[in-house]
Amino acid sequence: MRDKDLKNAAELVKKAWSFRLKIFLLTSFILALLPALTQNYYILEILIFANIYSIFGASWDILGGVTGIFSLGQALFFGVAAYMSGALNLFFGLPPWMTIPIGGAFGVIVGLVVAVPSLRLKNEYFAIASLIFPSILAGIIFMYPELTGGGIYGLAPISGDIVVTYYSSLLLMLVSIYVLVKILNSRIGLIFRSIRDDRETAEASGIDTTKYKFLAFALSGFFAGIAGGFQAHLLMSVGPFVFDPFLSLQAMVNAALGGMGTIVGAIGGSYLMSFLNEALRSIAQFRVFVFALVMILVFRYLPGGIMRLLAKRYRISLETWSGLKKLRRRENDAINP
């Protein structure tokens, strides 16, 4: 009986990995081939945004879904990075491939700064503060355009060619998601999840939860920043709109619709919401209404999102620690020494 149980368990882990690998390759393949089918500027642009929002959603997910820290103001990291990328490009002439990572770095800084009050404030207060914070920045920029530049215009584009831009966004998205998934399944991810499930028990297990919360914030800030920097160059402009609270909500809904805590869910969620948005084009006044409905439904009934529904159906695990892979090789070893 023992070997059979073990075999089944090891199979579970193995299945998860090969399933995800297959999906990853399939998705990458399809998405990569897309421009061959259509050179339509409009469609490609939608997909580019979907890619940006995938990264943005994943940045929320690593903090909220995986570590359990709900940030209601993800736009803060996004916006600061967008402004920094823009400023570096316009005033210092740095090209996008430099400003975007630096924007990410600024995202890290903001993340670490926000992490401090998250530790000291009670959950409720932090939630409210994080919701409000981006608006404060937007307000300041609004009020003092001389100081902050108000809006920054005339930024360098990612590329003159929409197809190149598309591939850049796709590459950036795939790499970002890959990195985050790797982290999710690593020891760090294991610790993040333990903090989410029960912070006290994690502390009692010798984990410096404060340090790891900071790390989660840094990661979240970085990837949100990357997304922000990319968008700045995509739109070739930055303005207070990058701090829009609605943006924060979008990150959350995209991540949750796909599957909170799965990271990859953010891709599915972003694409789905993009398509939904497009489908509602003719009745644009219903767009926000529908979005809000989705938001309520997802968080009320389906925070595991679509990914988890699929995972349950196919019996795979999306977030287990990769160290368990070693069990595969031990299938034939006796557990008892």
Partner 1 sequence: MQSILEINGICRRFGGIQAVDDFSLDIKEGEILGLIGPNGAGKTTLFNLITGFVKPDSGTVFFKKRNITKLKPHKIANMGIARTFQQTKPFKSMLAVENVAVSLMSKRAKESKNGSDVLEMALKALKRVEVIPPESNMFKLGSQLSHGYTKRLDIARALALEPEILLLDEPFGGLGFKEMSIMNKVIQKLHDEGITIVIIEHKMRELMKLAERLTVMHFGAKIAEGPPREVARNEKVCEAYLGKEGDNLFA
Partner 2 sequence: MIEQILVSTFILGGLYCLLALGFSLIFGVAKVLNFAHGAFYMLTAYFIYSLLFAGLQIAIPISLILIVITSFIVYELLIKPMHEKEMRAAVVTLGLVLVLQEGVKLVYGPEFKSIPYIITGYVTILGVRIVSQKLLAAITAIVLVAALYMFIRRTKQGKAIRAVAQNMEVARLVGINVSRVVMMTMGISALLAGVAAVLFAPVYIVSPTEWSILFRAFPVIILGGLGSLRGMLAASFLIAGIEKIVEYTIGGGYIVPTITFSLMLIILLVRPSGLFGHTTK
Interface residues with partner 2 (CB under 8 A) are 70, 72, 117, 120-125, 127-129, 131-133, 135-136, 139-140, 142-143, 249, 252, 285-286, 288-289, 291-293, 295-296, 299-300, 303
CB of 136 to partner 2, least distance (A): 5
Q: Does 118 bind partner 1 (CB under 8 A)?
A: no
Q: Is the dihedral of CA 180, 177, 106, 272 positive or negative?
A: negative
Q: Of 79, 86, 78, nearest to 153 (Cα)? A: 86
Backbone angles phi, psi at 153, to 5 degrees: -120, 165
| Residue 9 near which of partner 1, partner 2, none (CB within 5-8 Å, type-dependent) | partner 1
Per-residue b or e along 173-207, where b marks 16 or more CB atoms closer than 10 Å to that residue's CB:
bbebbeebbebbbeebbbbbbbbbeebeebeeeeb
Within 128-187, the residues that bind partner 1 by CB under 8 A are: 187
* DSSP character at residue 243: G
| Residue 321 near which of partner 2, partner 1, none (CB within 5-8 Å, type-dependent) | partner 1
237 beta partners: 153
Q: Considering the complex, state which of residue 46 and residue 207 has its C-beta at the smaller distance from partner 1.
A: 207
How remote is the C-alpha of 295 from its chain's centroid?
17
Can you point out the beta strands (E) in the chain? 152-153, 237-238
Q: Of 202, 204, 231, nearest to 59 (Cα)? A: 231
| Residue 207 near which of partner 1, partner 2, none (CB within 5-8 Å, type-dependent) | partner 1
CB of 3 to partner 1, least distance (A): 9
Query: Interface mask (CB under 8 A) for partner 1, residues 275-314, using x and -?
Result: ----------------------------------------
Instruction: Note the residues at the interface with partner 1 (CB under 8 A).
Output: 1-2, 5-6, 8-9, 12, 187, 190-191, 193-194, 196-198, 200-210, 261, 319-321, 323-324, 326-327, 335-336
